Structure formats: C-alpha cells, structure tokens
Amino acid sequence: MPIEKIKQSVRDIPDFPQKGIIFKDITPILHDKDLFRISLELLAEKVKKVKPDYICGIESRGFIFGAALANILGLGFVPVRKPGKLPYDTYKKEYSLEYGTNSLEIHKDAFHKNAKVVLIDDLLATGGTAKAASWLIEQCGAKVEEIIFLIELSFLKGRSELVGYKTEAIITY
C-alpha cells in the first residue's frame, strides 16, 4: 500500500526545533525516487479534480511539492514566502505556529481576479500557516479552491482554523 509506505518513511525527530515538538521529517520521502513520485501522484490526483489556474506553495517544504506539482500539471506556481524575501510589492500576514509566531508575504500581483488557486503545504499542524496563506491569496483577489497537505496532524485540530475551506491530506497521524 503506497500510502502506508510513505507514512512509514516519515521520520519523527523529537524536540525539534524546540522541546516538546515532534518534528515530522519528510526528507526520507524526497530521498526515495519512488516515494517522492508516488507522493506527487497522490497529490496531483487531488489537484486535478479542482482544475485550478495556479498552485500556491508555502515556504519552504510547500515549495518542493507545490513547484513539482505545478510542473507536472502544467500550471503556474506562486510562492508564499517568509518576510523580507519577496522583492516586489507584497501583502503581509502575521500568524501563530505550533512553535511560535511568524509572518508570510505574497506578491500583490500574483493572481488575476478570481483566479482559482490550490494551496499546497507539506504538513497541517495547528492551521495558522495555511489560514494566513489563504488570507494572502484572497487579498490578491483570487479564490482558494482547496488546501492540500501531504501530512495532517489531526490531533492538533488544524481543520478548525480552516473552516470554510475544502481541506485534504494524503497521510493523517
């Protein structure tokens, strides 16, 4: 069962980046050509159903999956980045994370009005990151058609932050 194999390959790193957090390390998936390909195929199946105009990925692991998916599906890719990284005019949103607070930015001219966007990230924890990214996409006048994660930590109840958005995940813990 490919999903089980992907799940088993995710490595738990206790107390990273701070005490009490069990970090889900996805680098073993990227390292294995079959697991990486299958992960992308499973994500692509979900994205295809939405027929979006763009894939938007959240820095930094959302870039790895999001950019590869955009390429596979023949779509444009829009990065949502950590503060101070995007060179042109940006919208900015502060949010809280499973471990601390942060902010994200998007280029103001990233989308045409009512563009259909699928938001991609590697992992849903408390949901603050995806909620902030969705807000940024909407600030640009685009629509978040679906938010798709490779991994969901369901015990952190991130979906409760994302009420009103269609949310999917390939693997759930």
Interface with ligand AMP by CB under 6 A: which residues? 21-24, 58, 61, 97-98, 121-129, 158
Indicate the residue among 52 and 66 with the shorter CB distance to ligand AMP. 66
What are residue 104's DSSP bridge partners? 93
CB of 113 to ligand AMP, least distance (A): 27
Nearest C-alpha neighbor of 154 from the set 140, 127, 173: 173
Q: What is the DSSP letter of 18?
A: S
Is 106 strand, coil or helix?
strand
CB of 4 to ligand AMP, least distance (A): 19
Q: Find all residues with CB under 8 Å of 76, minimum gap 6, and list them.
A: 53, 54, 55, 70
Indicate the residue among 66 and 158 with the shorter CB distance to ligand AMP. 158
Question: Pairing relation of β-strands 100-107 and 90-97?
Answer: antiparallel
Q: What are the residue numbers of the active site?
A: 61, 98
Indicate the residue among 63 and 91 with the shorter CB distance to ligand AMP. 63
CB of 160 to ligand AMP, least distance (A): 11
Q: What angle do CA 89, 112, 152 make, to 5 degrees?
A: 85
